[in-house]
Chain A
Amino acid sequence: MTTTPQTRPPAEATYRLLLTLFPKAWRQRHGQEALSILVDRAVTDRYGRTGVADSIDLVWHAVVARLAGVGQPVLGRLPRKVRAMPGLVIVSLGTVFAVIMLIGEIAGAHHRPASPNYSLMFLSGPFLTIGVGIDIGFIATLMFVLAGRTQLARMTSLGTSILALWMTWPNGLLPYPKPPTVVTGTMAVLALIALLGLVHAEKPSRRQRVITGAAALVATAGLILLLFMITGSIGWVPAQPHATILAAITTYAAIGIPVIVATAAFVHAGIRQRDIGAVLLLALVIQAATTLSAIAQAVESEPPSAWLWPAACLILALAIARYLRHRLTVADAQRTPPDPTGPVAATSPSQSSQESG
């Protein structure tokens, strides 16, 4: 279909605008052809009017293409077989937190305080408020991932990210009591990283999905048991002064252990590719999450022990990176052949050919 300014259907301008949402590389590759298809469909099926479904489809795939571009510098360097792992690990981690908090919410329903400060009861149900939506978002995302519905998982992950960021916004956005910033902030960072991972990954293999589901189940059960052993409850129980240190350690352990597991997954991927640059970058992102969490804790007048886990994560990440770099350097040195330009073996290419001939 050839269009002139006089015969251009009304949909063309809208589609042109929507196509600008895609990254430049995508537009250069597919933009012109996509526009002609869209306009053709509009003329054939809708008298030249813009199609709502086509527009939604464009916006969604533009968001995915943009997010894939954001994750490319790090995730794009991972081997294809393990590229799904970052998303899976972070989704599992977020879901473990979500399930624990949701169970705490349900179990403690009869002991709800009449008013905040909910942060005093962080261990046993900070999601008394509408923050429970984040729980459901993470759980739904993991369910879709395990069912192999990656596209749906990306959608719920995007929704969860937006919801968590919205709740983390400092003032005025919510007329209701909201969970502590430390919780929503941590969940927002996890949701964003999970989204980037899911956008960049292909459909995980059955084996990866089974391992993910099993790991999430075991971690959830283990942490719930741990919480029960420490606090005597998994529901709403105000934190006692003598329990503060224990509560803090448990909380930071709950955040830190999965973070370390996630870091280990990236390290493993980095070893496979013999490239630890990406691992370090990922470790920094994870470090940022734990540090933000500690900052939020500090703002809420929590004890200085809030900085224990971010510091531990940092030290661990640096130690792993240093060890890996050493291993790779040694391995490279062992594989590198003797320098042919050295003083003993120094021969020109012509000399070499004459000698070998």
Chain B
Amino acid sequence: MVFYGMREPSFLVLTALADGRQHGYAVMKAVEELSDGTVKLRPGSLYATLDRLAESGLIRDAGEEVVDGRSRRYYELTTLGADRLAEEIHRLQANAARAEAALKRLRTRGAQA
């Protein structure tokens, strides 16, 4: 499967799971924290994203635990998921570097004018 720029929620979910296996609610909170509150996954969207990533082979189930009488399903990053995350990070870094260089040129021209 080819990725042409990952959607931000998917990127953040993979980033959250790069820290280790987590259950759905923890992923949801981690996404909000990682994005400084700009991306808030609601439960319907959260499980749709997790299911889609799992179907793509980027994450997988990592067992269930019962806490306070409630079942929690854990998820973890797969090797493929880690590779895709690394590719996306590289792409974003390259974009940021290009943007930074362009901005520097603009400021240099401004200073000369």
CB neighbors of A among B35-65 (8 A): 42-48, 52, 56
Q: Are A80 and B1 in contact (CB under 8 A)?
A: yes
Asked if B4 contacts A205 (CB within 8 A), the reply is yes
Known: A202-B56, A206-B4. A33 touches B70 (CB 8 A): yes
Q: Scoring B residues 2 to 32 as 1 if CB is less than 8 Å from chain A, else 0, what string do you get?
A: 1010010000000000000001110010000
Produce 1/0 per residue, A38-57, CB < 8 A to B: 10110000000000011001
Q: How far is the CB of B44 from chain A (nearest CB, A)?
A: 3
Give the bracket for the number of chain A residues in contact with chain B: 20 to 34
Query: Which residue of A32, A40, A57 contacts B44 across the interface (Cβ within 8 Å)?
Result: A57
State whether the Cβ of B71 lies closer than 8 Å to any Cβ in chain A.
Answer: yes
The answer, yes or no, to whether A233 is at the interface (CB within 8 Å) is no
B11 to chain A, nearest CB (A): 13
15 contacts between A and B (CB under 8 A): A26-B47, A32-B71, A33-B23, A33-B72, A34-B43, A34-B44, A41-B43, A54-B44, A57-B42, A58-B43, A60-B44, A61-B47, A64-B48, A202-B56, A206-B4
Interface residues on B, range: 20 to 34
Known A-B contacts A80-B1, A202-B52, A205-B4; the reply to A33 vs B44 at CB < 8 A is: no
Q: Which residues of A contact B110 (CB under 8 A)?
A: none
The distance in angstroms between the C-alpha atoms of A26 and B1, with both chains bound, is: 25
CB nearest to A54 among chain B residues: B42
Q: What residue in chain B is nearest A40 (Cβ atoms)?
A: B25
CA A31 – CA B69 in complex, angstroms? 14
Q: For the A-B complex with A32-B71, A61-B45, A61-B48 known, give 12 more contacts whose Cβ atoms are closer than 8 Å.
A: A2-B69, A34-B24, A36-B25, A37-B25, A37-B46, A38-B43, A40-B25, A58-B44, A61-B44, A61-B47, A202-B1, A205-B2
Task: Specify which of B1, B28, B68 is in contact with A81 (CB 8 Å cutoff).
Answer: B1
The interface residues of chain A lying within 8 Å CB-to-CB of B71 are 32-33
Residue A239 is within 8 A (CB to CB) of chain B in the complex: no
**Complex Cα spacing A183 to B85, Å:** 46
Given contacts A33-B25, A64-B48, contact A53 B4 (CB under 8 A): no
Is B84's CB within 8 Å of the partner chain A?
no
Main secondary structure of the interface of A (DSSP, over half): helix
**Is A30 interfacial (CB-CB < 8 Å)?**
yes
**Cβ-based interface call for A215 (8 A):** no
Question: Are A37 and B68 touching (Cβ within 8 A)?
Answer: no
Chain A-chain B contacts (Cβ-Cβ < 8 Å), number: 61
Shortest beta-carbon contacts, A-B, top 7: A61-B44, A57-B42, A57-B44, A58-B44, A30-B47, A34-B43, A206-B4
Which residues does chain A contribute within 8 Å of B44, judged by CB atoms?
A: 34, 54, 57-58, 60-62
Cα A29 to Cα B68 in complex, Å, equals 18
A54 engages B43 (CB within 8 Å): yes
Q: Are B24 and A30 in contact (CB under 8 A)?
A: yes
Contact between B1 and A37 (Cβ–Cβ < 8 Å)?
A: no
A279 to B32, CA, bound (A): 43
The answer for the CA separation of A54 and B45 in the assembled complex, in Å, is 9
Asked if B45 contacts A37 (CB within 8 A), the reply is no
A189 CA to B72 CA, complexed, in Å: 41
Chain B residue with the shortest CB-CB distance to A1: B68
State in angstroms the CA–CA spacing of A343 and B25 once bound together.
63
- B43, B47, B56, B68: the one within 8 Å of A2 (CB): B68
Contacts of A80 in B (CB 8 A): 1
CB distance from B16 to the nearest CB of A (A): 15
Which residues of chain A have C-beta atoms less than 8 A from B23's C-beta?
33
- List B contacts of A148 (CB < 8 A): 4
User: Which residues of the partner chain A approach B1 to less than 8 Å between Cβ atoms?
Assistant: 80-81, 202
User: B2, B24, B56: which contacts A33 (Cβ < 8 A)?
Assistant: B24
A216 to B20 alpha-carbon distance, docked (Å)? 45
Q: How far is the CB of B45 from chain A (nearest CB, A)?
A: 6
Complex: A58 Cα to B44 Cα, angstroms: 5
A53 B42 Cβ-Cβ under 8 A: yes
Provide the bound-state CA to CA distance between A203 and B52, in Å.
11
The smallest beta-carbon distance between A44 and chain B, in angstroms, is: 11
